[in-house]
Amino acid sequence: MAQHLDKDRIRRSFDRAAATYDAHARVQERLATELVARADGEPERILELGCGTGTLTALLRSRFPEARIVAVDFAEEMAARTRARVPDAEVIVADVEQLDLEEPFDLTISAATIQWLADPAATLARLAPAGRLLLATFGPRTFWQLRATGIEPTLHLRSAAEWEALLPLEVESEELDVVYPGARAFLRTLKRTGTANAGRGDPGALARALRLYDERFAVPGGVVATYELLFLASPAP
Ligand SMILES: C[S@@+](CC[C@H](N)C(=O)[O-])C[C@H]1O[C@@H](n2cnc3c(N)ncnc32)[C@H](O)[C@@H]1O
C-alpha cells in the first residue's frame, strides 16, 4: 500500500545536504560497497535509483567499465555531484515514482533510497519488470535508541518480512552499531545526510531527549546508534 510522503520537503532536504553528504554518509557508503559486491554477471545496461552524490554510481563505473549507466535522483544538487563524479553516466533529474523509461535494464540497483518511496512495489514493477534487482535500505531496528528517548522518526521503515510480502525478493538483514561523539553529533549527521525531520519539533523536548540519549546509550568514545541494514535481491539467474 502507498504511504503518504511530503516529497517536496524530502527533496529540499537532500538538496540542502548535498554539500555535506559525503563527509557524513559513512553508513550509506558501506551499503553501496556491500551492494556492488553482490552484483554479478556483466550487465550492459544499469539503472540506479536515487544516485545522490554518486557514491554507488562511481563504484558501478569501476566494476562495470563498459556498462551504460542511467542514474536518477530528484534532488538537482545531488544529481549535479553524480554528473561531475561519473561524467559518462546518464544522470536524470526526476522523481523515480513519476518516471517512465522504455529501455530494459539488466540490473536495477539502489542504495539507501527505496525507504523514501511512497509505493516502491509499483515503481519497481514499472521500471524494472525484468533483469536483476539489488536494493539496500534500512530496517525498523534502525535508531531504536532514538525512539527509546521519545524521538519518533516520521519515516516508516519496513521490516524484512514487509519487503518480502511486497516484492518477490530475498532479504538479508544485518545490524551495525555506530559510535558518535554524542547525541547532538549523531543528530547533526542525520541532518547533514539529508534525513528529513531530524531535530525538528519542540526544542525543549528535543534537548531533554538528547540528554537522556547521552546518559542511556553512552559507550566508550560517545554514544551508540544502531542501523539495521537490509539487502534485497532478486534470485540470481
Ligand atoms: C540517502 S540518499 C542515498 C544516495 C546514494 N544512493 C548513496 O548511497 O549515497 C537518498 C537519495 O535518494 C533521492 N531520492 C529520494 N526519493 C527519491 C525519488 N522519489 N525520486 C528520485 N530520487 C529520490 C534523494 O534525493 C537522495 O539523493
pLDDT of 220 reads 98
Distance in Å, CA 144 to ligand 1 centroid: 23
Calculate Rg over the CA atoms of the chain. 18
C-alpha cell at 53: 552524490
Residue nearest to ligand 1 atom 27, measured at CA: 52
CB 90 within 8 A of CB 66: no
pLDDT of 199 reads 47
pLDDT of 1 reads 64
Give buried/exposed letters for 200-223 (b at 16+ CB in 10 A, else e).
eeeeeebeebbebbbeebeeeebb
Top mutation candidate among 61, 101, 113 for ligand 1, by most atoms within 8 Å of CB: 113
Residue nearest to ligand 1 atom 20, measured at CA: 95
The number of helices, as runs of H, and strands, as runs of E, in the chain is 9, 8
pLDDT of 2 reads 76
Distance in Å, CA 121 to ligand 1 centroid: 17
Centre a 10 Å sphere on the Cβ of residue 69 and count the other Cβ atoms it contains. 25
pLDDT in single tens digits along all 237 residues of the chain:
677 889 999 999 999 999 999 999 999 999 999 999 999 999 999 999 999 999 999 999 999 999 999 999 999 999 999 999 999 999 999 999 999 998 999 999 999 999 999 999 999 999 999 999 999 999 999 999 999 998 887 788 999 999 999 999 999 999 999 999 999 999 999 999 998 554 456 778 888 999 999 999 999 999 999 999 999 999 876
Residue nearest to ligand 1 atom 13, measured at CA: 50
pLDDT of 169 reads 94
DSSP 3-state helix, strand, coil percentages of the chain (rounded to 5)?
A: 40, 20, 35
Distance in Å, CA 48 to ligand 1 centroid: 10
Strands (E), 66-196: 68-73, 90-93, 107-111, 132-138, 170-180
pLDDT of 235 reads 80
Q: What is the pTM of this model?
A: 0.95
